[in-house]
Amino acid sequence: MYRDTPHAIHLKDYQPPEFLIDRVELHFDLDPDRTSVESRLELRRNPAATRGDGSLRLHGEQLELETVEIDGNPLTGSEYVLDPESLTLHRVPDRFSLLTRVRIHPSLNTALEGLYQSGDMLCTQCEAEGFRRITYFLDRPDVMARYTTTLVADRARFPVLLSNGNLIEECRLEDGRHLARWEDPFPKPSYLFALIAGDLRAIEDRFTTASGRAVDLKIFVEPHNLDKCDHAMRSLKKAMRWDEERFGREYDLDVFMIVAVSHFNMGAMENKGLNVFNDKYVLARPDTATDADFDGIESVIAHEYFHNWTGNRITCRDWFQLSLKEGFTVYRDQEFSADVGSRGVKRIADVRLLRAHQFAEDAGPMAHPVRPDSYIEINNFYTATVYQKGAEVVRMQANLLGPDAFRQATDLYFERHDGQAVTTEDFVRCMEDASGRDLSQFRRWYAQAGTPELTMQGDYDPAAGVYRLSVRQFTPPTPGQPEKRPFHVPLAIGLLGDDGEDLPLRLEGDSQAPAAGTRVLELKAEEETFRFVGLDSRPVPSLLRGFPAPVKLRFDYGDRDLLFLMAHDSDGFNRWDAAQTLMQRLLLALVRDPDHGVLDAFFDAFREALLDAEGDRALLAEVLTLPSEGYLADQMDLVDVDGIHRARAGLERAIGGRLRADLLAVYRANAAEGCGYVFTPEEVGRRAIRNLALHYLMQSPDDETLGLCREQFAAGDNMTDVMAALRLLADHGGAEGAEALECFYRRWSRESLVVDKWFAVQASSPREDALEQVQRLLSHPDFSLRNPNRVRSLVGVFSVANQVRFHAADGGGYRFLADRILELDPLNPQIASRLLKSMIRWRRFDRTRQALMCDELRRILDAEELSKDVYEVASKALE
């Protein structure tokens, strides 16, 4: 039990800071066991502060305070108050300089927040509230200061010393130590501070900005990883150019640095001029990384780089505004990936992710608005809602304004708020001011949680030639928000004629007939009817083209209409969506009734799509992938874990059997042409369709397909193909599977990111003994609770990507997860709390499973000491 119940922080209580900090001078004497931090702050009373008793309360946690001085005068213990979370100074001047010296212990820092040790290097992570574990400070994003940072360390152990901004001094000291001084000319909040010390190597490049400024680019890694940085560097240069062209944003320092570290809680961090990355999002060589890894690197490198404007130059006033920087920056990285890769495939991947994670979050006990009203632990709010739904909310505004007005609006935002800490309200006001549009109702997307459900109905009146489309919106209640007001929803709609061509969408009252194609309508009321005129025959509606809003659609399509859309819709996204709806319907019918049977028409459509020689292969692979077990579960009021697994596996087997010859032909036709691995949309698509074909074939394997799989595993010069084959062999099992796993491990045991894949393949296996295997792997010498990537690859993957085994009816999966959470919480609360999220939607399951999950949640809440992170999630889950 958490002894004093942690209290919630509310947006409505926001107050401007009573003091501002203009300058910060930090001096670090670095040592993994014992680092000394001296800080000199120039403080002054904030003229805009509204209240206060005149005292100064600085944040600080786990710091050993040695000295406090005001304007050079040491304070005695009676002149300040120290508690575990702060240092309070009473009666301070209106303007003064404050010196503090503290000691910290990086090697004991397992939470990976503040200054910590990763392998042989020292690094920092300060977002959201980690800076207070480095020194006493006003650790809140609306306090922006200029920093000078001096680093002193042993020269042999830590030859590279980095911090934000530009290097202004470097020298050798006695005793084998050296010093580096960095100065960051841009005021920044403390969460963007970073330092790195280590024995690192860098690849270097140079970028000339649109206005002719030369920027040195450096990617720092441990020496043995120097051969895995090229893709990251290429991605960085593409991102820098794209941001100039698309958003008019140039880089602003002389150097841009990226450092890859192996112990990292999140994906990466946008610290000013010194981005710190989980090495998973930097390191790639064709033989060690898959296409998905290459993709991930490209988009995360871009994401962090884009933060330089959306996050750093303009930051958040408080953490309730997190989506101001994250939603906008995700929108920007999604647009970047769409431009440099394949737009259609990117949209599908993004919507898949949104539906799988954000819709689920919005329907569970942790549901919250894009701009939350309250939190206990801010680390719990780095969520799919703030990131992915936040990006959709920006995308809706971009689409409502149109490209030109949206660009003017973002230009205005950058000009008006540069150097400030602002709110999502300030963002929307720029959208309005630049476009003249009224977005007052639109703002509800920031304030109301929950996924709106749109129920549409169409009927055609042949005599009048009119098609009426009625739309009703309803948003289910979420915690703390029992009733919702209607949203302002953009709808992108098309109507298909008998020949599959787009018809003109002429609304009653239109003076002119518009061109055929997509029309964007705006729904504002709870219920609205649109009347399309001049139609000679019943059209097939193509609704929500390109997924114009983060909503669920209910429309009673007949199977024939879905097949028609799948074959003819001019919108690629909706062709995919029609296929997904068809498959989902079929699968749910098979869950309810195993003898439901599958129509020949289904296999015919599948075959036709598969053999479409002109189609974009990556898109095809998306179309031909069945909805995941997790997604199917979300479509049921009461989840039938085993039924879903049986139905989905059964349909995959049927596809593999019925279409064997076609799948084999596709597999062979898409063999690589011997020029080695290239990461282009075409080649990625080719590997995707080929590996999907092999996947279906291996669901009812015979000697021939097993042979192909074995060959691909042995020959593969690229990790994409090797992993695909390894997964299939391992799931197939037997001596063959064990041998493949063994051989893979032996080959890659020294590449930690590849070892993560080896753990993950076993954790996600649908084999009946998956949990036993995962249990065994806990005591593998390479397993460690201290490395978040390793924990995610074993425990995270098992609980998120292995629905059938994690939710086993005997509760073994739940007990396993709760045990790990309890072990992990004292070490790393952020990771513990994230793992817990796979057990909080217990209400959707049968009585037995509900009881088992609740028992585990209660057991967790009963623990002696619990972090705020885990406390918040577990207690909200049981509310």
Query: Catalytic residue positions?
Result: 304
In the bound state with ligand PHE, the residue whose beta carbon lies nearer, of 326 and 756, is 326
Dig out the tokens for 647 from the structure: 């139905």
From 263, 303, 317, 695, residue interacting with ligand PHE (rule: CB under 6 A) = 303
In the bound state with ligand PHE, the residue whose beta carbon lies nearer, of 290 and 830, is 830
Per the CB < 8 A criterion, the answer to whether 257 and 240 are in contact is no
Q: Which stretch binds ligand PHE (CB under 6 A): 262-270, 444-452, 602-610, 784-792?
A: 262-270
Interatomic CA distance for residues 147 and 150, integer angstroms: 10
Give, to the nearest 10 degrees, the angle between helix 812-824 and helix 829-836.
Answer: 160
Q: Which stretch binds Zn ion (CB under 5 A): 55-63, 77-85, 325-333, 827-835?
A: 325-333
Q: How far apart are CB 624 and Zn ion at their closest, in Å? A: 32
Alpha helical stretches, state H, 257-364:
291-306, 322-340, 343-353, 359-362
Q: How far apart are CB 792 and ligand PHE at their closest, in Å? A: 14
First to last CA, the chain: 16
Q: How far apart are CB 791 and ligand PHE at their closest, in Å? A: 16
The residue count for binding ligand PHE (CB under 6 A) is: 12
Give the count of beta carbons closer than 10 Å to the beta carbon of residue 404: 10
Instruction: Lay out the site mask for ligand PHE across 376-395 (x = CB under 6 A, - = otherwise).
Output: ------x-------------
- Among ligand PHE, Zn ion, none, the one that 269 touches (CB under a kind-dependent 5 to 8 A) is ligand PHE
Length of the chain: 879
Per the CB < 8 A criterion, the answer to whether 281 and 268 are in contact is yes
Instruction: Lay out the site mask for Zn ion across 575-604 (x = CB under 5 A, - = otherwise).
Output: ------------------------------
Dig out the tokens for 234 from the structure: 């290429």
DSSP 778-809: HTSTT--TT-HHHHIIIIIHHHHH-HHHHT-T
Continuous segment of H or E residues that includes residue 374: strand 374-375
Interatomic CA distance for residues 622 and 639, integer angstroms: 25
Q: Kindly give, in sequence order, each residue whose CB lies less than 8 Å from that of residue 536, ignoring residues fewer than 6 positions away.
A: 465
Per the CB < 8 A criterion, the answer to whether 164 and 192 are in contact is yes
In the bound state with Zn ion, the residue whose beta carbon lies nearer, of 184 and 326, is 326
- Among Zn ion, ligand PHE, none, the one that 382 touches (CB under a kind-dependent 5 to 8 A) is ligand PHE
Q: Which stretch binds Zn ion (CB under 5 A): 30-38, 173-181, 271-279, 326-334?
A: 326-334
Which residues pair with residue 191 across a beta bridge? Answer: none
Per the CB < 8 A criterion, the answer to whether 329 and 337 are in contact is no
102 SS3 class:
strand
In the bound state with ligand PHE, the residue whose beta carbon lies nearer, of 128 and 401, is 128
Interatomic CA distance for residues 851 and 165, integer angstroms: 54
From 30, 153, 239, 266, residue interacting with ligand PHE (rule: CB under 6 A) = 266
- Among Zn ion, ligand PHE, none, the one that 662 touches (CB under a kind-dependent 5 to 8 A) is none
Per the CB < 8 A criterion, the answer to whether 94 and 45 are in contact is yes
Q: How far apart are CB 242 and ligand PHE at their closest, in Å? A: 17
Give, to the nearest 10 degrees, the angle between helix 572-592 and helix 343-353.
Answer: 40
Site for ligand PHE in 109-128 (CB under 6 A): 125, 127-128
Q: Which stretch binds ligand PHE (CB under 6 A): 181-189, 267-275, 588-596, 831-839?
A: 267-275
Q: What is the dihedral of CA 112, 118, 122, 128, to 10 degrees?
A: -20
In the bound state with Zn ion, the residue whose beta carbon lies nearer, of 122 and 391, is 391
In the bound state with ligand PHE, the residue whose beta carbon lies nearer, of 378 and 754, is 378
Dig out the tokens for 413 from the structure: 């935002």
In the bound state with ligand PHE, the residue whose beta carbon lies nearer, of 147 and 382, is 382
From 304, 361, 634, 825, residue interacting with ligand PHE (rule: CB under 6 A) = 304
In the bound state with ligand PHE, the residue whose beta carbon lies nearer, of 148 and 334, is 334
From 153, 161, 253, 269, residue interacting with ligand PHE (rule: CB under 6 A) = 269
Instruction: Lay out the site mask for ligand PHE across 319-358 (x = CB under 6 A, - = otherwise).
Output: -------x--------------------------------
Dig out the tokens for 185 from the structure: 């000319």
Binding stretches for ligand PHE (CB under 6 A):
125, 127-128, 266, 268-270, 303-304, 307, 326, 382
Binding stretches for Zn ion (CB under 5 A):
326, 329
